[in-house]
Amino acid sequence: MQENIIEIKNLTKKFKDFTAVDDITFDVKKGEIFAFLGPNGAGKTTTIKMLTTLTHPTSGTISINGFDPTKQQEQARASFGIVFQDPSLDDDLTAYENLNLHGMLYGVKIKDRRERIKQLMSFVELWDRKDDFVKHFSGGMKRRLEIARGFLHHPKVLFLDEPTIGLDPQTRNHIWEYLKKMNKEEGTTVFLTTHYMEEADKVSDRIAIIDHGKIIAQGTSEDLKKQTQKNSLEDAFLALTGEEIREEVVKNQAMSGRARAWRR
Amino acid sequence: MIAIYTLWVREIKKYFRSKSRIVGSLGQPLLFLVALGFGLGPIFKAAGQGDYIQFLVPGIISMSILFLAIFSGISVIWDRQFGFLKETLVAPVPRWQIMLGRTLGGATVALLQGVIVFLISFLIGFHLQSAGLLALAFVFMFLIALLFTALGTGIASILEDMHGFQLIMNFLVMPIFFLSGALFPLKGLPKVLETIVRFNPLAYGVDGLRGTLGGVAQFGLFNDFCILLVVVVVFISIGSYLFSKIQV
């Protein structure tokens, strides 16, 4: 029996009259690649924000690496790395400076920091561009740099919120290769969301599907296919969540201004 | 502590890299110095108030610090929009340290800008009456810078986007500048206006700077210093509270 690195119990997040996350309970095991799937507006990003101390839950408990992100914020924050859905680099700094700043904020000692930055930037094939300003980088390069940054402080868990969105197939493949390799070599648990079912199928050990704020299925990709009697994860996903297009916009209008900004 | 230093360095680096920003923000104070200094100078003299340039320079230095400081503080909104803010919000560092680092960095930048305006003012005929209080003049400049960077950071922590920026400029920053005694002497003002000026922290900054650069401090240097210091502490405390409450 593997140890759990993340434990979520009865987690709920309400924005005024709208429940974004509704009483979800699940665990992520140490060292696995865990895919958190769901249609737009299902509650994925809100869940990640609660796990990463950016938003407070309305109720329920979370444990990350044994820490409660609502009470032991700093220990919880030191335990994870995150690649956000939107870019979060400083465009006016160079690639190296962005990573160095991250290392300093996370208290990585100078010797380790230098080695680690070189190792990770070479790993994502950006070492020769280290002194370029990030504003000159393409979307794919920024993403790779953010992945390197996410691993910099030796986190126990790396969260990735739709890391391959809007990227070409070459970059997407590379990104999954990096993640699988780091997961294997350093044992970092990977928690990801994506809309590319094929990719989720290929990389993840276990999957949870969330819809309308509730976990509606979890297990390995095989479990989900068996459960729905479908051949691909995409078909299984559609069988579970329905074919209907989600009207996220309507829901957004019902939310307060602040909540709207969260969900973007 | 390393977090404070890290964010301080970031502000300084960004300042020196944006040459156009440095030059651009010198335009306004220069225009004020030249147009008002030479334009109103004769009237000021005729009214028996002495050399207007001598009077005006501390006010314009304060103005350039005020604008740059507020703008540095407001940059939290840019970072929110471009995503970098989140990177600092998930770092395993207390939020007040992040806020303090940013504020110290922004204030240092605003101070540098004030020093540049100070040096330029010699070109248009400003002269230092006593060099003895120069160090104290820089202290006043830094206090003004800190105060308004903290204010800007606090405001930006509540705002979600740049839409409110115009509102802040027109209903907060401009009144703070115009009602500070930067451009005209505070003696003989209508009672209402005088009361407003008394509640304007920049008035004490301008007064302190004027006192240390060779003019007369109307409120007294000691009072100026104490009032500024108290307001700085209050604004930094409120600012870091608001900053720590940011949810993205």
Distance from CA of A29 to the nearest CA of B (A): 22
- Helix/strand/coil for B22: helix
Ordered domains of chain A (ranges, CATH): 4-89+157-263 (3.40.50.300)
Residues of A in contact with B85 (CB under 8 A): 88
Average pLDDT over residues B37-62: 94
Out of A93, A104, A257, whose CB is closest to B13? A93
A158-193 tens-digit pLDDT = 999 999 988 999 999 999 999 999 999 999 999 999
- Average model confidence (pLDDT) for chain A? 91
Provide ipTM, 2 decimals.
0.90
pLDDT of amino acid A248: 59
At position A137, the amino acid (one-letter code) is F
Q: Report the chain B residue with the minimal C-alpha distance to residue A85.
A: B83
B2-11 tens-digit pLDDT = 999 999 999 9
User: Which residues, at least 6 apart from A40, have a Cβ–Cβ distance to it below 8 Å?
Assistant: A246, A248
pLDDT of amino acid A243: 82
**Whether A85 contacts A161, CB under 8 Å:** yes
Q: What percent of chain A has pLDDT over 90?
A: 87
Q: Is A104 within 8 Å of chain B by CB?
A: yes
- CB < 8 Å from B in window 134-163 of A: none
pLDDT of amino acid B210: 95
pLDDT band at A1 (very low <50, low <70, confident <90, very high): low
Provide the token pair at B108: 């240092």
Q: Answer yes or no: do A88 and B84 touch at CB < 8 A.
A: yes
- Helix/strand/coil for A227: helix
pLDDT of amino acid A259: 42
Rounded to two decimals, what is the model's pTM?
A: 0.90
Query: Nearest-CA neighbor of A83 among A176, A184, A212, A15?
Result: A176
pLDDT of amino acid B51: 92
Dihedral of the alpha carbons of A156, A161, A165, A171, in degrees to the nearest 10 = -10
- Average model confidence (pLDDT) for chain B? 94
B52-101 tens-digit pLDDT = 999 999 999 999 999 999 999 999 999 999 999 999 999 999 999 999 99
A78-133 tens-digit pLDDT = 999 999 999 999 999 999 999 999 999 999 999 999 999 999 999 999 999 999 99
Q: Is A97 within 8 Å of chain B by CB?
A: yes
Q: Answer yes or no: do A89 and B83 touch at CB < 8 A.
A: yes
Q: Is A118 exposed, middle or buried, given 0-12, 13-18 or 19+ CB atoms closer than 10 A?
A: middle
Which residue, chain included where needed, has tokens 């009456």? B129
Average pLDDT over residues B116-140: 92
Give the gyration radius of chain A's Cα atoms. 18
Query: Nearest-CA neighbor of A158 among A186, A196, A133?
Result: A186
Whether the pLDDT of residue B17 is over 90: the answer is yes
Starting at the edge strand found earlier in the chain, the sheet holding A59-64 runs: A18-29, A4-15, A59-64
pLDDT of amino acid B165: 81
Query: Nearest-CA neighbor of A262 among A89, A39, A45, A36?
Result: A45
- Helix/strand/coil for B6: helix
pLDDT of amino acid A247: 66
Q: What percent of chain B has pLDDT over 70?
A: 100
Q: Answer yes or no: do A91 and B94 touch at CB < 8 A.
A: no
Q: Distance between CA atoms of A97 and B199, rounded to whole angstroms?
A: 42
Q: What is the residue range of B235's domain?
A: 2-244
Whether the pLDDT of residue B130 is over 50: the answer is yes
- Provide the total of helices (H) and of strands (E) in chain A, helices listed first: 11, 9
Whether the pLDDT of residue A46 is over 50: the answer is yes
**Whether B217 contacts B211, CB under 8 Å:** yes
Q: Is B95 exposed, middle or buried, given 0-12, 13-18 or 19+ CB atoms closer than 10 A?
A: buried
Q: Pairing between strand A157-161 and A80-83?
A: parallel
How many structural domains comprise chain B?
A: 1
Q: Report the chain B residue with the minimal C-alpha distance to residue A57.
A: B247
